[in-house]
Structure 1
Amino acid sequence: MNAIARISDFDDPGFDPFKTFDTAAGLFEIMDPWPRFHELAARGPVQVGSLREQFGLEEFALWSDVPSYMVFGTEAVTKAYLKAPTFSNEIMMRVYAESFGASINGMDAPEHTRYRRLFQQAFMPKQVLSWGSHLVPEVVNRLIDGFVGNGKADLVREFTSRYPFDVVYAQLGLPKDEGALFHKLAVGLMCIMVDYPHAVEASRKMGDYLLKLLNERRQGHGDDIVTMLAQAEVGGERLPDDIAVSFLRQLLNASGDTTYRGTSALLVGLLTNPDQLAAIRADRSLVDQAIDEALRWDGPLTAMTRQTLCDVELMGVTIPAGAKVDVVQATLNRDPSRYPDPDKFDIFREQKRHAAFALGPHVCIGQHLARIEMNRAVNALLDRLPNLRLDPDYPPPQIVGFNSRAPIELRVLFDS
């Protein structure tokens, strides 16, 4: 079979899932949500209401029939995340079941625990370090090769929005000519709340493709993630195809998208604070704490959604069973009682655990890989782009959006 024929584009190849998703995420409407987040958090840790509606965005129709609550601040956010499965992830199945399928993100214990242990094997420290030593630098440097001689670049368009996805393509062992279309379908899956037909179409086509890959690699000897899942077993039984396909469906968004947004925020923080950029340029041991500061300061997601399985009291407020709960982790990350001057990007501040990757049993399975990718990316840019700085001919970069946040562009100059 011709390799490129294994994956199919949308029936309407002109459909742009990237623009559709960014619009739904408020990327073009919400420029700076932080004053409103601080205002809401000051009103109390648990409140009735929909977070989207607090920002003038229409609530998704799927949730219009359930009561909505919001959770703010360090103590309430931590308790909500750690009180699983009372604050259940099952609501995500309600959202994404027809796009991602039987996702572990929509499971609670014991089912979630059972499958997470297996998937975690793909992200063991030895494997992650191997990717960080060979695969990630290869991808990063290949992209930098494309603009290093120009003396200028848009680091979002030419670098941060591309390199994490190229890493995932390599981890999956995808042929290069299938990566871009795989990415397009993966973002299409995320449009389920605003464009149901296209999301379901993306789910079907990506599912067909991934099942072919699993079957092809069931007897293989590769070290890619698809081969690992194709041959994995749970309790002596092979991992069900639907569970494996679902995990692979969401991997690009869960891994690539968050790393793209996190790296973009990190570069905005450094480039708009030249003294901190100079400090890192002189002492690369500061890179890791700069990464954590960027994730705290403007992490990829501001909130996650849970649903109560029973009546539960949180911070003196009784939340009824079946309620949708927006856990606003951004208000832990910028809690003024926890971080002095929390809206300031400061790589030298005292490091405390943030919630950019969530907390509790659903903490991001790939967070260590994300940090390594961001580390390799920043080091490579500093190594290869001397005197990296903002381009004064363009407005200063701004991270925008309601939940999935990123700068639209990041124009820089450097000595070529």
Structure 2
Amino acid sequence: MSTLPRIQDFDDPSYNPFEAFDGAQGLDIADVYGPISQWQRQALVHPIEYKCLFGLPPDVTTADMRHFTVFGYDLAQYVYSHPEIFSNKIFERMLGPGFGRTVTTMDAPEHTQFRRIFQRAFMPGVVAQWGDSFVQPVVDDLMKPFVDKGKADLVVDFTSLFPFHIIYRQLGLPSDDIRVFHKLAVALTVAGVDVARAMEASAKLGAYYEALTEARYAQPGGDLVSALTQVEVDGERLPKDVLISFMRQLINAAGDTTYRGTSNLLVGLLTHPDQLDALRRDRSLLPAAIEEGLRWEGPVMIGFRTTTRDTELGGMAIPKGAAIHVVNGSASRDSSRYEDPEKFDIFRKPGARHMTFAYGAHVCIGQHLARLEMTRALNALLDSLPNLRLDPGMPPPQIRGCNMRHPQHLHVRFD
């Protein structure tokens, strides 16, 4: 790593992309499910951009498009299951300025061609090996400062850090580059409000990833970048530009969602201490608890598509070239698919799969890694923090956000 260039900060080092990102997510909004339920009862499709329903400004990258917000499980599944009608090309506008030529922006056959190579690198057996080499050491290191104190803020001290530190370790980043790296990675996602900053971050991360991939092509190791440079299917490897774009997207796709998903699951468990006690006694409940947490409060409320032709959804005519906002949160709390859907219940009978990782051809490639990270994190907390409980002397946790949802604090006590 000593031969790699340093990651370059913004030309204006004082720029704070976290403020821009948080502002675009509507983090002052706590109750999204009440309004969503009301809108869903009125109609399954509304001719408006999702976040505009909450009074937030529209996305500048899609300002010239007509927008439709889609509610309910059946319509979400339909949209995700018909990529020939509902295309991922909308992400060329929304993510392209920051991420570049990523698989998220592609449709078949190009998407199919590259996704099968990525999937080979993220097979469950491969991901399982990262548990000991990358995930567990990070979890253990982050818990050391508070494990003997009897109290912690699990968001500030742990969940907001561990998935990002796993990625840093997978990339082999020097510790003094981490702060700038995280700033640039977050800035990639603010194209909806600041295209210029997203493009600046894209160029600077791209230069670093270019050098990193060249080093791994020449001397592969056991890290994720090496796996991606070496993996092949039928003799075909990933083009360098596609690989670099994927790496630009990695921290947001893997870090942000895992951090929020783990935080939300902990809120569910800590506010239902009987279920937390059951999980503490019987760890075989953990897979079901993770799936219920992802269903009950998924970290990402919406997915996006654009129509390739005139079509119809929920009885509403949709023109070609429209922006479709699929409300994953409404699908995962649809009363036609889940009994008492507002309730957090790790004992819920298996039923319809939730939409947190989307569905169909573009279902999340990193879902196995996310589940592995959540499993390791929860087991470590339960093993090392006896009698883990909410701190009665501190404000209770509140999950907030219009799109990306999470609690800002999670104050706990333990023996």
Structure 1 and Structure 2 fold alike (TM over 0.5):
yes
Shift, 1:376, TM fit: 0.9
- Whether the 8 Å CA contact 1:32–1:400 is kept in 2: the answer is yes
- One-letter amino acid of the counterpart of residue 315, structure 2: G
Change in CA separation of 1:301 and 1:164 when aligned onto 2, cut-off 3 Å: same
Shift, 1:230, TM fit: 3.0
Which residue matches 1:24?
24
Question: Percent identity of the aligned residues?
Answer: 52
Residues in 1 aligned to 2:2 and 2:382: alpha-carbon distance in whole angstroms = 41
Which residue matches 2:408?
408
Give 1:286-297 correspondences, 5 Å limit: 286-297=285-296
Which residue matches 1:102?
101
Which residue matches 1:307?
306
Shift, 1:232, TM fit: 4.6
- Whether the 8 Å CA contact 2:116–2:233 is kept in 1: the answer is no
For 1:210, what is the secondary structure of its paired residue?
helix
Which residue matches 1:360?
360
What is the total number of aligned residue pairs between the two structures? 414
For 1:136, what is the secondary structure of its paired residue?
helix
- Whether the 8 Å CA contact 1:173–1:226 is kept in 2: the answer is no
Residues in 2 aligned to 1:85 and 1:152: alpha-carbon distance in whole angstroms = 52
**Which moved further from structure 2: 379-388 or 238-247?**
238-247
Shift, 1:237, TM fit: 5.7
Shift, 1:192, TM fit: 1.2
Residues in 2 aligned to 1:157 and 1:181: alpha-carbon distance in whole angstroms = 19
Give 1:333-352 correspondences, 5 Å limit: 333-352=332-351
Please say if 1:59 is aligned against 2:58.
Answer: yes
Change in CA separation of 1:338 and 1:383 when aligned onto 2, cut-off 3 Å: same
- Whether the 8 Å CA contact 1:77–1:328 is kept in 2: the answer is yes
For 1:165, what is the secondary structure of its paired residue?
helix
Change in CA separation of 1:337 and 1:236 when aligned onto 2, cut-off 3 Å: closer
TM-score normalized with structure 1 length: 0.96
Shift, 1:171, TM fit: 2.1
Please say if 1:266 is aligned against 2:265.
Answer: yes
Shift, 1:267, TM fit: 0.4
Q: Deviations over 1:1-44 (max 9, x none)?
A: 956842111122222212220111111x2111110110111122
- One-letter amino acid of the counterpart of residue 23, structure 1: G
Residues in 1 aligned to 2:272 and 2:237: alpha-carbon distance in whole angstroms = 51
Residues in 2 aligned to 1:238 and 1:286: alpha-carbon distance in whole angstroms = 39
Q: Deviations over 1:330-367 (max 9, x none)?
A: 11100112212211111111122100000000000011
Which residue matches 1:397?
397
Residues in 2 aligned to 1:170 and 1:351: alpha-carbon distance in whole angstroms = 35
Give 1:137-176 correspondences, 5 Å limit: 137-176=136-175
- One-letter amino acid of the counterpart of residue 191, structure 1: V
Which residue matches 1:82?
81
For 2:219, what is the secondary structure of its paired residue?
coil
Residues in 2 aligned to 1:85 and 1:14: alpha-carbon distance in whole angstroms = 44
Residues in 2 aligned to 1:5 and 1:235: alpha-carbon distance in whole angstroms = 34
Shift, 1:238, TM fit: 5.0
Q: Deviations over 1:313-335 (max 9, x none)?
A: 23332211000110111111001
Residues in 2 aligned to 1:199 and 1:265: alpha-carbon distance in whole angstroms = 28
Residues in 1 aligned to 2:205 and 2:305: alpha-carbon distance in whole angstroms = 27
- One-letter amino acid of the counterpart of residue 36, structure 2: F
- Whether the 8 Å CA contact 2:61–2:191 is kept in 1: the answer is no
- Whether the 8 Å CA contact 1:45–1:71 is kept in 2: the answer is yes
Please say if 1:196 is aligned against 2:198.
Answer: no
- Whether the 8 Å CA contact 1:46–1:72 is kept in 2: the answer is yes
Please say if 1:68 is aligned against 2:71.
Answer: no
Shift, 1:146, TM fit: 1.5
Q: Deviations over 1:135-161 (max 9, x none)?
A: 211111110111111111111011000
- Where has structure 1 moved over 4 Å in runs of 4 or more? 1-5, 232-238
- One-letter amino acid of the counterpart of residue 340, structure 1: E
Which residue matches 2:253?
254
Structure 1 residues not aligned, in runs of 5+: none
- One-letter amino acid of the counterpart of residue 264, structure 1: S
Q: Deviations over 1:111-139 (max 9, x none)?
A: 00111111112211221111124421111
Give 1:223-238 correspondences, 5 Å limit: 223-232=222-231, 236=235, 238=237
- One-letter amino acid of the counterpart of residue 382, structure 2: L
For 1:192, what is the secondary structure of its paired residue?
coil
- Whether the 8 Å CA contact 2:5–2:208 is kept in 1: the answer is no
Residues in 1 aligned to 2:365 and 2:177: alpha-carbon distance in whole angstroms = 25
Residues in 2 aligned to 1:380 and 1:236: alpha-carbon distance in whole angstroms = 40
**RMSD of aligned Cα (Å):** 1.6
Residues in 1 aligned to 2:242 and 2:377: alpha-carbon distance in whole angstroms = 32
Shift, 1:235, TM fit: 6.4
Residues in 1 aligned to 2:92 and 2:231: alpha-carbon distance in whole angstroms = 24
Change in CA separation of 1:386 and 1:95 when aligned onto 2, cut-off 3 Å: same
- Whether the 8 Å CA contact 2:121–2:231 is kept in 1: the answer is no
- One-letter amino acid of the counterpart of residue 39, structure 2: L
- One-letter amino acid of the counterpart of residue 298, structure 1: E
For 1:99, what is the secondary structure of its paired residue?
helix
TM-score normalized with structure 2 length: 0.96
Residues in 1 aligned to 2:114 and 2:238: alpha-carbon distance in whole angstroms = 9
Structure 2 residues not aligned, in runs of 5+: none
- One-letter amino acid of the counterpart of residue 98, structure 1: P
